[in-house]
Amino acid sequence: MARRSSTGYTLIELLLVLTLLSGAGFVLLVKLPVQQNERNLALASTQLTQELRDTRQAALSERTWYEVEFFYTQGFYRIIREGKRVKDVYLPKGVIIVNAPTDIRFYAPGYPSMGGTISLKAGKLTRNVIMMPVTARVREEIVK
């Protein structure tokens, strides 16, 4: 009898590989949007924290007043120097402002008009940017 040498994969092996690849693809499809929301929220809260610090420092160094206005429905905040718009900062996709004062003014000595908590939300995730009223110390807080 002659032996036949065959190379290749069986149908079962091919189906097993396709099943494993489709399972991995499904996990990625479910996981990626959640991670994207987390990244966008982290980016927005870090950027807001830095903008508040920079605005305070600018008011202090330039010996003038600055203001940060929050626009809930439009999804951005505006930085104003002596009544003139400096820039608008738009939040990343999926991130909204859920709690903030209408505006925060930084006076020439560097102290703010008020302190408080600014809450940003993306899906079920929330991050707070907290500013102390007297010292203007700004920090981030992850809400669990």
| pLDDT tens per residue across span 29-66 | 776 666 888 899 999 999 999 999 999 999 999 999 99
The reported pLDDT for the residue numbered 34 is 65
- In angstroms, rounded to a whole number, what is the distance separating the alpha carbons of residues 47 and 64? 23
What is the Rg, in whole angstroms, of the alpha carbon atoms belonging to the chain?
26
The widest CA-to-CA distance across the chain, in whole angstroms, is 99
